[in-house]
Amino acid sequence: MSELEKQKKETIENLVAIGRLRSPEIKKAMMKVKRELFVLPSYKDEAWIDVALPIVGKATISAPHMYAIMFEEAKLKKGEKVLEIGSGSGYGAALMKELVGKEGKVITLEIDPEVYEFAKKNLKKADCTNVKIILSDGSVGYEKEAPYDCIFVTATAPEIPKPLIKQLKPEGRMLVPVGGIAGSQELIYIKKNKDGGLEERNICGVVFVPLRGKFGYKQI
Ligand code: SAH
């Protein structure tokens, strides 16, 4: 077994041991998607250490435990339609595609042209060609394909972007970090009930890069 494979097993088994990774489907997806294809070549050996890594621009690929936390909350099912805001490396979108399967659909939006090219290239390298990646301001969502079963915002918003709530299906879920650029940020879970009412829960403190665009931090 290569050093990288060893590190991957260790990280994933540790997430299971500490109770952050509980669902067999999420574990299977994390075992399958080659995280090393989504990091910069100079970080390949560190790909499976449980930390966030810089990619291009101001973007980062989140730490493996962050994906476990978000996916355990989201409870994606086969066939669901998912929107990701902030493609970054493309790794999150590749995991989402594994979780929703062939019959599901993943759309990921990236605002930074350089990062968009990076994510697109990585998804292709990983043979994940059936993820739809679009260069656009995701803070307004993506009306054309709405409504969604689940929306993942992977950049910190000043407050929950209103258009995203509108683009959730009844029973739809959203995970969104909310907070200050440098200060404390909380990962928020939102579920839209059948009657349109919202259920909201704080999951944990997090560190994400700021959300830009119309419903993000405009000064960035
Ligand atoms: N989910 C990614 C990590 C995202 S890092 C992964 O798995 O690797 C956050 C990303 O959000 C950055 O690439 C940043 O450029 C992007 N971003 C910030 N504001 C955005 C916006 N309004 N619309 C789309 N992408 C945005």
Q: Can you name the residues that pair with 153 across neighbouring β-strands?
A: 85
pLDDT band at 115 (very low <50, low <70, confident <90, very high): very high
User: Residue 45 carries which side chain, given as an amino acid letter?
Assistant: D
pLDDT digit string, tens, across residues 116-134: 999 999 999 999 989 999 9
DSSP 19: T
Domain spans in the chain, listed from the N-terminal domain onward:
3-206
3-class state of residue 96 by DSSP? helix
CB contact at 8 A, 31 and 8:
yes
Instruction: Name the residue among 168, 138, 154 with its Cα closest to residue 70.
Output: 154
DSSP 182: S
Indicate the pTM of the whole model.
Answer: 0.97
Report how far residue 112's alpha carbon sits from residue 59's, in angstroms, rounded to the nearest whole number: 9
Share of residues in the chain with pLDDT > 90 (%): 95
pLDDT digit string, tens, across residues 173-214: 999 999 988 779 999 999 999 998 999 999 999 999 999 999
CB contact at 8 A, 21 and 68:
yes
Atom of ligand 1 nearest to the CA of 140: 22
Atom of ligand 1 nearest to the CA of 152: 1
pLDDT band at 136 (very low <50, low <70, confident <90, very high): very high
pLDDT digit string, tens, across residues 141-182: 999 999 999 999 999 999 999 999 999 999 999 999 999 887
> Which of 159, 209, 214 gets mutated to test ligand 1 (max ligand atoms within 8 A of its CB)?
209
CB-defined site of ligand 1, < 6 Å: 59-62, 85-86, 88-89, 91-92, 109-112, 115, 137-139, 154-155, 209, 211-213, 216
Instruction: Look at residue 34 in the predicted model and tell me its pLDDT.
Output: 97
Atom of ligand 1 nearest to the CA of 115: 13
Kindly provide the b/e burial profile for residues 9-28, where b requires at least 16 CB atoms within 10 angstroms of the residue's own CB.
eebbeebeeeebbeeeebbe
Instruction: Look at residue 218 in the predicted model and tell me its pLDDT.
Output: 80
Instruction: Look at residue 220 in the predicted model and tell me its pLDDT.
Output: 61
Cα 42 to chain centroid distance, Å, stands at: 23
pLDDT digit string, tens, across residues 9-61: 999 999 999 999 999 999 999 999 999 999 999 999 999 999 999 999 989 99
**3-206 CATH fold:** Rossmann fold (3.40.50)
